[in-house]
């Protein structure tokens, strides 16, 4: 795959993961605490898209889902759809954060492959799937609800245990996928160095 070309296989993978993220919203959302930001399984789909497809294809999978949602399709948890969820909703920033999060996870996963060790992979997934998403989500929540930033940040702590658990699940699943299907992330499987001249190996 070149820098400008997506193959039919790539497009199929993008569509599948966009559908996966949408499907993970079917159980609905749980809203707790003072700030009305729903807790869903869809962030798990975003993490999986980055960890399995990489930054580029994962980004397009999330972007496809968001564009369809903005067009009015009820693809967010609880059957939500429309531009309002990208503007005045308390959760609007988290949707934009999905794009940043999937890109960070995908980039760092490519760096860690082909070995993909558990703890560095978990750290990379938390960095993208939690901190990068919160970086957008928390300030927009504060803005849309008229809250001090510290109040929105403090309230977001309730999401951490669930999001860390999603990161663990993502790494466990992605490890198995990459073992079974190496090469899903272009350029991540590096060729072995050539043997020095005159060295036959063993």
CATH number for position 170 = 1.10.1760.20
For residue 190, the model assigns a pLDDT of 57
Q: DSSP 3-state assignment of 120?
A: helix
In a domain, 123, yes or no: yes
In a domain, 127, yes or no: yes
Tokens of residue 154, six digits: 């403090």
pLDDT per residue as tens digits for the range 133-147: 999 999 999 999 999
The residues facing 80 across adjacent strands are 76
For residue 202, the model assigns a pLDDT of 40
Mean pLDDT by 10 residues, the chain (202 residues): 76 98 83 59 96 98 98 92 94 96 98 96 98 97 95 90 94 97 79 47 41
In a domain, 18, yes or no: yes
Structural domain containing residue 60? 8-180
For residue 201, the model assigns a pLDDT of 42
For residue 29, the model assigns a pLDDT of 61
Please count the structural domains in the chain.
1
What whole-number distance in Å separates Cα of residue 128 and Cα of residue 106? 9
In a domain, 189, yes or no: no
Mean pLDDT of all residues belonging to the chain: 89
In a domain, 3, yes or no: no
For residue 3, the model assigns a pLDDT of 52
What whole-number distance in Å separates Cα of residue 4 and Cα of residue 201? 39
In a domain, 67, yes or no: yes
What whole-number distance in Å separates Cα of residue 22 and Cα of residue 191? 36
pTM here is 0.88
In a domain, 199, yes or no: no
In a domain, 36, yes or no: yes
């Amino acid at each position: 795959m070149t820098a400008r070309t997506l193959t039919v296989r790539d497009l199929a993978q993008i569509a599948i993961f966009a559908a996966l993220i949408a499907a993970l919203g079917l159980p609905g959302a749980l809203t707790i605490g003072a700030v009305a930001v729903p807790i869903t399984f869809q962030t798990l789909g975003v993490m999986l898209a980055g960890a399995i497809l990489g930054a580029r294809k994962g980004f397009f999978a999330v972007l496809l889902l968001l564009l369809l949602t903005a067009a009015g399709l009820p693809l967010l948890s609880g059957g939500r759809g429309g531009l309002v969820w990208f503007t005045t909703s308390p959760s609007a920033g988290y949707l934009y954060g999905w794009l940043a999060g999937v890109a960070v996870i995908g980039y760092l996963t490519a760096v860690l492959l082909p070995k993909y060790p558990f703890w560095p992979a978990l750290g990379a997934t938390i960095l993208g799937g939690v901190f990068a998403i919160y970086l957008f989500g928390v300030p927009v929540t504060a803005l849309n609800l008229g809250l001090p930033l510290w109040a929105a940040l403090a309230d977001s702590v309730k999401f951490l245990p669930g999001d860390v658990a999603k990161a663990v699940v993502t790494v466990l699943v992605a490890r198995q996928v990459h073992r079974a299907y190496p090469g899903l992330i272009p350029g991540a499987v590096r060729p072995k160095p050539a043997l020095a001249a005159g060295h036959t190996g063993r």
